[in-house]
């Protein structure tokens, strides 16, 4: 069977492709500027006893139902989880995420056991807090109908709403 020569086919992008590509690039740039980078330091092998106790309490709370204002096994809210975990290490922290954010010493890079604050209710005020667990994850009480869980900080949701970190534990 003789071979037939095919003519080359040129593909051109659909009409408006350049405008769409420029729009997507612009949106990505805007999204990148929305929140501060969540900077972390992995130091699991250098945990103080306080940090180990905080993380142990946070891990033991996994699966606890969310309850607004909750501070017990029957239910926890985000700042209640923090208050309870830090109490295990003998460290007192304010009751609400906003008060914690205002009162606690801010840091540039979070270590396991440190607090991460987010503006989830719009604006720039702290309305959510989680405990950095290491490996790019935090333990937190996410909200009504959910349970205390471990979640990735790589999610855009958290990146865009990040306000800062605090280190009340030595």
The catalytic position among 51, 84, 111, 128 is 128
To which residue do tokens 């540039």 refer?
Answer: 108
Q: Catalytic: 128? A: yes
The catalytic position among 38, 53, 55, 78 is 78
Counting beta carbons within 10 angstroms of the beta carbon of residue 111, is it exposed (0 to 12), middle (13 to 18) or buried (19 or more)?
buried
Phi-psi region of 39 (alpha: psi -120 to 50; beta: other; left: phi over 0): beta
Q: Catalytic: 78? A: yes
The catalytic position among 84, 98, 111, 140 is 140
Counting beta carbons within 10 angstroms of the beta carbon of residue 149, is it exposed (0 to 12), middle (13 to 18) or buried (19 or more)?
middle
To which residue do tokens 């991460």 refer?
Answer: 116
For residues 95 and 123, is the Cβ–Cβ distance under 8 A? Answer: no
Q: Catalytic: 87? A: no
CA separation for the pair 24, 39 (Å, rounded)? 26
Catalytic residues: 78, 128, 140
């Amino acid at each position: 069977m003789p071979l037939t020569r095919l003519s080359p086919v040129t593909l051109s992008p659909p009409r408006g492709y350049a405008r769409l590509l420029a729009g997507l690039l612009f949106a990505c740039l805007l999204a990148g500027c929305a929140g501060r980078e969540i900077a972390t330091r992995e130091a699991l092998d250098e945990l103080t006893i306080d940090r180990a106790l905080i993380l142990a309490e946070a891990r033991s709370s996994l699966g606890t139902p969310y309850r607004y204002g909750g501070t017990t096994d029957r239910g926890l809210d985000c700042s209640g989880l923090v208050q309870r975990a830090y109490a295990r290490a003998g460290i007192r922290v304010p009751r609400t995420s906003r008060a914690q954010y205002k009162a606690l010493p801010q840091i540039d890079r979070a270590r396991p056991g440190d607090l991460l604050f987010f503006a989830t209710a719009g604006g720039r005020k702290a309305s959510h807090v989680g405990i950095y667990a290491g490996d790019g994850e935090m333990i937190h009480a996410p909200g009504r109908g959910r349970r205390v869980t471990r979640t990735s900080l790589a999610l855009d949701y958290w990146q865009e709403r990040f306000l800062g970190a605090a280190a009340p534990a030595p």
